Amino acid sequence: MSEPQPALISEADTVLCRQVPSALLDEACGIMSTAFTPSPRDAGRLSTLHAVDPYEAHRRYTEELELESAGTWGIEVGLASSLHLPAYEDSCLPGMPADHASVVFTAHTKGQQAQRARKLRDAALSQGPLFTP
């Protein structure tokens, strides 16, 4: 029997919840684009939650994972897809929490990743936070 595989999220209006630590907030630009860039430990996959309301996403991040977050911001799957950043529901993978989804940046150079992260950040800023504590 084969292992379960992550499923592509294709519904364009699906909003993925991304937590933004206070350290990535900036008075000049609101949120640093690095908040929407995978870190080296993420292996090119930006961690989000889907099918969860923004408050619950924040609660899980701060209470269950005991990490700091200034709030929950949204990434629309349609925008990510238009930037050639596919989103996968990957909670079936070992160690992933329920409702986890990853936005995959691996097909792009570091410079392209930075450009795409800025576009995700700009869209999140224009929408505003989905939840702030």
pLDDT value at residue 39: 85
Nearest CA-CA partner of 99 in 59, 41, 43: 59
Say if residues 36 and 119 touch (Cβ distance below 8 Å).
Answer: no
pLDDT value at residue 30: 86
| H or E element in which residue 99 lies | none
Q: One digit per residue, pLDDT tens: the chain, 133 residues? A: 567 889 999 999 999 999 999 999 987 778 999 999 998 888 999 999 999 999 999 999 999 999 999 999 999 999 999 999 999 999 999 889 999 999 999 999 999 999 999 999 999 999 999 999 9
The domains of the chain are located at: 7-126
pLDDT value at residue 1: 56
Q: What is the CA radius of gyration of the chain?
A: 14
Say if residues 33 and 114 touch (Cβ distance below 8 Å).
Answer: yes
Rounded-to-integer distance, Cα 132 and Cα 114, Å = 25
Q: What is the pTM of this model?
A: 0.93
Half-sphere exposure of 54 (CA within 13 A, CB side): 18
Q: DSSP 3-state helix, strand, coil percentages of the chain (rounded to 5)? A: 35, 25, 40
The residue with tokens 């090119």 is 44
